[in-house]
Chain A
């Protein structure tokens, strides 16, 4: 499903070159649930941004569903992000002027889905994450765990094959974190490929496969 080939990202910091990613070769199978762990600054977020098509590599390639993302235009990348990938952030990153329902419907709005269809689907998605009674709440009127569940619903709105979470439990308490991992597990059982970065060993233990990163490299 996802494959990286000698994926390298170099940041130029003054005279020094920082290798955020160094020749990463990683293959993630369809339907897999994989956790990426490693110390701060090891390149986990950078890797997720690459496979989430948010960022472009210095060298190497990312293949999604066999498509070489390096060959895609900006619009092509936007379409992959919109249709194939659901991204969940540590900071939730909801649009604070919109309520839960509108936030979840937003990716469908960009996809040109009809208004009634997307509002109906957004309502269902929110019900699935247990927020059926909070659909008209603004992000500022919800707890961190509720906001993160809205973010998950939003990530699912265009029914993506891959769900990517960069420390999705990083800003919530342990109990809420477990609920979120439960939801992600459920998504994986539905057949979606799930990739998460986590610092939490307990969470990592619940996940099928774990990859450890250090200094921009994926260890075996």
Chain B
């Protein structure tokens, strides 16, 4: 066995350039598959991962305009919030009073989504996910304070806004008490919002309507059932059908996952084409090797090599070439995956950490060897079946 490897090694050394090119072919094929799969997993994880953190959430929004208030979206009332709270299995139901308001800072004006929530509900709303980067949330006793999203603080206005700066919302001065961490991705909306207390929202901004109810359930398994019940209760309150839409995050995650499954399959199909090209490369290399060494094969047979000895030697060569290609492909793939996520990060400012799974690497090496040995089979058989006299005569 050691000598078989020696024979293969000596041959590869003799044909360095060609062996290297074949290894390169496999390496690129395998590397492409690994890189694309890893980036795919990373993408899936970065999006569904954010959603999974919120798997116990149900978003309740009015779906239809209410009769009699033509031109305005429907809204909920405090009674709706109470009704939702009474449903079993619900941990929290946070009312959000959101409205587009004119926000002014140092003479610049923008329309911004300003949301009023009860300070005691902030924990339920953001949990451990959204934290102030600086400062804090508004407190129950605060008067005219606000917490602003990351983009409001840094991107909207020419000057950066920090804690204790003052904004004018709809004509009233508000003091900034906190700036939230950058969210990005699926939660990037939060970055462009301003949070005030429910009391200020009602009394100062004159915004009594509840635009959204944010529900957290105790048991994720019950989420769908509870969502249906929420819709029924609120619809009853308003004596309307299909007035309320309650969407669980679970169903959003499922949708995302199926989309990513398809995306992944397409990427892998593309990468597989390079693998097929690599397989033809191996077949070509081994075939060339067989042709060039026809004389040597004849000599080996003349001194007593059986067909299977010859077959084994050439399959071993194919296996060694493809194993080296596979391992190099793993290295190349891992580097490639990180390069791609870095590229995405710089180009789109989206954080996608490539996820390299060990089973993917292992599978890639196995596939490389399988492809190598299968494509080596034809030339190896050809070599083993040569007639010794004719092969010896061949120069």
Contact = CB atoms under 8 A, between A and B. Distances in A.
Interface stretch (B86-94, B121-129, B161-169, B295-303): B295-303
A102 B11 CA distance: 14
A54 B388 contact: yes
Contacts, number: 74
B49 to A, nearest CB: 54
Given A55-B387, A78-B304, A87-B303, A115 B392 contact: no
Contacts of A110: 300, 303-306, 309
Contacts of B7: 95, 97-98
Nearest to A98: B10
Given A75-B307, A81-B302, A111-B304, A89 B392 contact: yes
Contact of A97 (B14, B305, B387): B14
A95 B300 contact: yes
Interface residues of A, number: 30
Contact of B11 (A55, A82, A97): A97
Interface string A94-107: 11111000100111
B347 interface: no
Select the residue from B7, B11, B302, B309 with max chain A CB neighbours within 10 A.
Answer: B302
Contact of B304 (A49, A82, A93, A98): A82
B155 to A, nearest CB: 66
A49 B299 CA distance: 12
A158 interface: yes
B302 A109 contact: no
The interface residues of chain B, by DSSP majority, are classed as helix
A74 interface: yes
A105 B305 contact: no
Bin the interface of chain B by size.
Answer: 20 to 34
A52 B10 contact: no
A54 B305 CA distance: 12
A107 B301 CA distance: 9
Given A54-B392, A93-B392, A97-B10, A115 B304 contact: no
Contacts of A115: 2-3
Interface string B372-392: 000000000000000111001
Contacts of A109: 3-4
Contacts of A155: 303
Interface in B344-395: 387-389, 392
A137 to B, nearest CB: 15
Given A95-B296, A97-B11, A115-B2, A106 B389 contact: no
Nearest to A49: B389
A126 B292 CA distance: 29
B304 A55 contact: no
A158 B296 CA distance: 19
B305 A78 contact: yes
Interface of A: 49, 52, 54-55, 74-75, 78-79, 81-83, 87, 89, 93-98, 102, 105-107, 109-111, 115, 154-155, 158
Q: 9 closest A-B pairs (Cβ-Cβ)?
A: A82-B304, A97-B10, A78-B306, A55-B389, A93-B299, A54-B388, A81-B304, A107-B303, A110-B305
